[in-house]
Amino acid sequence: EAHKLDHSLYALPGPSTAALSNRSCTAESTAEAGKSNQEEENTHFQVLLDVVQFRPEDIIIQTFEGWLLIKAQHGPRMDEHGFISRSFTRQYKLPDGVENKDLSALFCHDGILVVEMKNSVG
């Protein structure tokens, strides 16, 4: 099951949008995700990120001056050893020709976040 990430609450100057992708998560794309995987093709830019420890509402996706920023943070939660809180920030330089307006994000049921941006040339 995929969840739409609502990024209208978070803003950096410039475009920052995310829409739910029409395609579903496939075993092929999620099995290769590992911790973080970045893929560039002539037609799109794609990032696969393991965010299994986070909920969709914990994740912020932004674009700013040619960079894609993915942040996640959750407050203290109980686990088998006590309380734990986690956070991370990942930054990816966007290739030339990638349009911010074509950003889509898909949160897969197995904890893989798929972020894609289309190339305006492709």
Domain boundaries, given as residue ranges, for the chain: 27-118
- Residue 109 carries which DSSP code? T
Q: What is the pLDDT of residues 29-82, one digit of tens each?
A: 444 444 456 665 556 789 999 999 999 999 999 998 889 999 999 999 998 999
Q: Hey, which residues does 3 pair with through a beta bridge?
A: 107
pTM confidence score: 0.65
Q: Where are the beta strands (DSSP E) in 1-122?
A: 36-40, 44-50, 59-64, 67-79, 82-93, 104-107, 112-118
CATH number at 27-118: 2.60.40.790
DSSP run (H or E) holding 27:
helix 27-31
Q: Tokens 């686990």 appear where?
A: 79
**5-34 average pLDDT score:** 43
- 4-8, 18-22, 35-39, 96-100: lowest mean pLDDT where? 18-22
